[in-house]
Amino acid sequence: MNAWNHTTELDFILMGLTDSKEIQLALSVLFLLIYLATVLGNVGMILIIRLDVQLQTPMYSFLTHLSFLDLSYSTVITPKTLENLLTSIKNISFIGCFIQLYFFIFLAAAECFILSSMAYDRYVAICNPLHYPVIMSTRRSHALITGSYMIGAMDSSVTVFCLSTLNFCNSKVIHHFFCDTFPILALSCSDTYDAEATIFILAGSTLLLSLITISSSYAPILSTILKINSSSGKHKAFSTCASHLLGVTVFYGAMIFTYMKPSKSYSLGKDQVASVFYTIVIPMLNPLIYSLRNKEVKSAVIRVVKKRGRAPRN
């Protein structure tokens, strides 16, 4: 059997989402509009936070990196998907496939821990408000951000190493619209048990650790909010967490549905829909979630627009 792992001359073929030309055209228009909204929304969020002095806090520093991660991993997936839909170019090189997979896992894993850091930040702000400047110092927030990227890099490096050591013998057709772990595992003629177990444990540990951090942060937050006597005080405290809770629910729901199961239970139709949701749609939704439900961001937008409007013109 002719194994071709480590061969850079042969390409994988991405089958995409559908064979129907009409549906491909409709999806290409839809995905292009979503991607443009993703770029505008996330770049806009980053600029607003950077330009407004009142948003120079750890929470909005985390939000800046969340927007950067959303923009980045959408860019890793969407342009290639659009090329697949709009042209007859379905192939992706062996190296290109694993580069796409590497950056996707790196950015998605880093986002898990950025979301965890945001939950911890809200815990400190609500449960220990007097000590917030000391506990959530600039140094600590930078350490949490750096740690998130380091864990993401470790996760992606181990996963790509496990997959790249497998043999790929006959079929090189990936039944997906991007290079993901389960579709690549399905192509291998090697014994994939060790690679699959390692990837499952790694992905499970990442999701579990970040979810434990989020849950252990929000349990005392909810307890503290319930002890507040005034309804206006409860509403104000809860509103600071509502956007983050919604973002966490949407992101983790799609990730758990897709990855927390054996590769043999992979379902092409259902998992592709979930993959479209968390790789293409969610990066567009996060700026909306964190801006429309956040009074501070809305106020910052107004301040920045007024400030730019008053700026002297040459």
Residue 289 has pLDDT above 60, yes or no: yes
What's the average model confidence in pLDDT over 79-99? 89
Picking from 170, 189, 168, 194, the residue whose alpha carbon sits closest to that of residue 179 is 168
pLDDT band at 98 (very low <50, low <70, confident <90, very high): very high
**Res 4: pLDDT:** 44
**Res 312: pLDDT:** 56
DSSP secondary-structure letter at 165? T
Dist. CA 178–CA 9, nearest whole Å = 19
**Res 308: pLDDT:** 63
Condensed to tens digits (0 to 9), the pLDDT of residues 109-145 reads: 999 999 999 999 999 988 898 999 999 999 999 999 9
DSSP three-state, residue 57:
coil
In the chain, domain spans: 13-306
Dist. CA 73–CA 61, nearest whole Å = 19
Residue 260 has pLDDT above 70, yes or no: no
**Res 288: pLDDT:** 84
- The b/e string for 37-66 (b: 16+ C-beta within 10 A; e otherwise) is ebbebbeebbebbeebeebebbbbbbbbbb
Q: What is the mean pLDDT of the chain?
A: 84
Tally Cβ neighbours within 10 Å of residue 239.
12
Q: Which residue would you say has higher pLDDT here, 1 or 39? A: 39
CATH H superfamily, domain 13-306: Rhodopsin 7-helix transmembrane proteins (1.20.1070.10)
Residue 234 has pLDDT above 80, yes or no: no
175 phi and psi angles, rounded to 5 deg: -85, 65
pLDDT band at 38 (very low <50, low <70, confident <90, very high): very high
Say how many CA atoms lie within 13 Å of 96 toward its Cβ. 14
What's the average model confidence in pLDDT over 220-246? 79
**Res 293: pLDDT:** 58
**Residue 20 Cα distances to 24, 25, 157, 308, angstroms:** 6, 9, 36, 47
Q: Whose structure tokens read 């496939």?
A: 97
Condensed to tens digits (0 to 9), the pLDDT of residues 164-190 reads: 888 887 678 888 899 998 888 888 888
Residue 275 has pLDDT above 80, yes or no: yes
The pTM for the full model equals 0.87
Residue 218 has pLDDT above 70, yes or no: yes
Residue 6 has pLDDT above 50, yes or no: no
58 phi and psi angles, rounded to 5 deg: -55, -40
- The b/e string for 75-111 (b: 16+ C-beta within 10 A; e otherwise) is bbbbebbbbbbeeeeeebebeebbebbbbbbbbbbbb
**Res 7: pLDDT:** 44
**Res 269: pLDDT:** 58
Q: Which residue would you say has higher pLDDT here, 4 or 148? A: 148
Residue 102 has pLDDT above 80, yes or no: yes
